[in-house]
Amino acid sequence: MHIAFIADPLPSFRIYKDSTFAMMVEAAARGHTLAFIDQRDLARAASGTIEAASWPLTLTGDPDAWYALGASEVVPLSAFDAVVMRKDPPFDLEYVYSTYLLERAEAQGARVYNSGRAIRDHNEKFAIAEFPELIAPTLVTRDGARIREFHREHGDVILKPLDGMGGMGIFRVKADGMNLGSMIEMLGGDGERTIMAQRYIPEIVDGDKRILVIDGVPVPFALARVPQGNEVRGNLAAGGVGRAQPLSARDREIGETVGAKLASRGLLLIGVDSIGDYLTEINVTSPTCFAEIRQQAGFDVAAVFVDALERAATASSPAAIAS
């Protein structure tokens, strides 16, 4: 297969832990050819074709100069056997515009994973609302008075923006309510921005678990991201320490319940986050933790992902559809 990766600039990769790099290595090892696309180079041509500048990508095996790029060529996205969308957030308007382009490319026959429309339709914070039976008490609102009432009811709450990543902008407000007003003002912009409030889940001390779900099936190991010191956030980007561990029965239930619904919507890979027994987020843009799970548990997540990518791309190929 010829596989294009839409991703952050290659020099920014930290290959010792990058999940996109792990995907690339596995795909190349199977003989697939690779291409790199920068999100900025997606375009709709005047003819209506969705296309992009694409660079042939070769992995060198040298950790200090791990890639080589060939000459770029503008090609339709439908020319690839698979397009893997791995651009990291922030999920800003430019990201949204990219999902529009990808959605049109799919209408022209491109095979995009995760699909543009599915990424756009599943806000990584708010998507949990589809699964009320799995989540802790959660409020989503611009109304500061409602947030204060939620805090009075639950006593210990987490506040977060709907567009954050890596633990950015997440605050805990304990029973004393210290700085609650300031947090509402800062996160909500005096009612201009929507805030999510969740009841604090004490099991965060045991880690914020990342459950990877590939084509609807949970990977058998989660990465528990354990907060350090007085930090409330377990995110690796916020200093959390990752600990691979087998899925509990509840972890598996959460992964299977979410995966069963979302796989059919074009979400080949999702990162389901849980704390204790509760679903907290559903990551659809560029879920990570492949490397940590392989290094600690010996489970090759990238191999399972490329298996699923091959199945999906083959099943949706023109030849397969015609038959």
Q: Contact at 8 Å (CB) between 304 and 233?
A: no
141: left (phi over 0), alpha (psi -120 to 50) or beta: beta
Q: What letter represents residue 91's amino acid?
A: F
SS3 26: helix
- Out of 103, 208, 273, 292, the active site residue is 273
Which is the catalytic residue, given 86, 111, 125, 199? 125
> Residues 233, 251, 292, 294: which is the catalytic one?
233
86 is catalytic: no
What is the longest distance spanned by two Cα atoms in the chain?
65
For the question of residue 41 being annotated catalytic, the response is no
* Residue 310 in tokens: 């091959």
Please confirm, yes or no, whether 283 is among the known catalytic residues.
Answer: yes
To the query of whether residue 172 is one of the catalytic residues in this protein, the response is no
Phi, psi dihedral angles at 139 (to 5 degrees): -120, 140
Q: Which of 100, 48, 99, 106 is nearest to 77 (CA)?
A: 106
**210 among known catalytic residues:** yes
226 CB-contact burial (10 Å; exposed 0-12 / middle 13-18 / buried 19+): middle
138 CB-contact burial (10 Å; exposed 0-12 / middle 13-18 / buried 19+): buried
Residues contacting residue 304 through CB under 8 Å, at least 6 positions apart: 214, 219
Contact indicator for 117, 174 with CB cutoff of 8 Å = no
Residue 174 falls in the annotated catalytic set: no
Calpha distance 192→142 (Å, rounded): 7
Cα(123)–Cα(61) distance, integer angstroms: 36
Q: Of 225, 235, 292, 294, which residue is the catalytic one?
A: 225
193 is catalytic: no
By C-alpha distance, which of 20, 17, 87 is closest to 59? 20
* Active-site annotation holder among 86, 87, 199, 210: 210
Active site residue 123: no
Q: Beta strands of 79-219 (E only): which ranges? A: 82-85, 112-113, 138-141, 157-161, 171-173, 195-199, 208-214, 217-218
d(CA 305, CA 26): 9
235, 281, 292, 294: which one is catalytic?
281
Catalytic residues: 125, 160, 210, 225, 233, 273, 281, 283
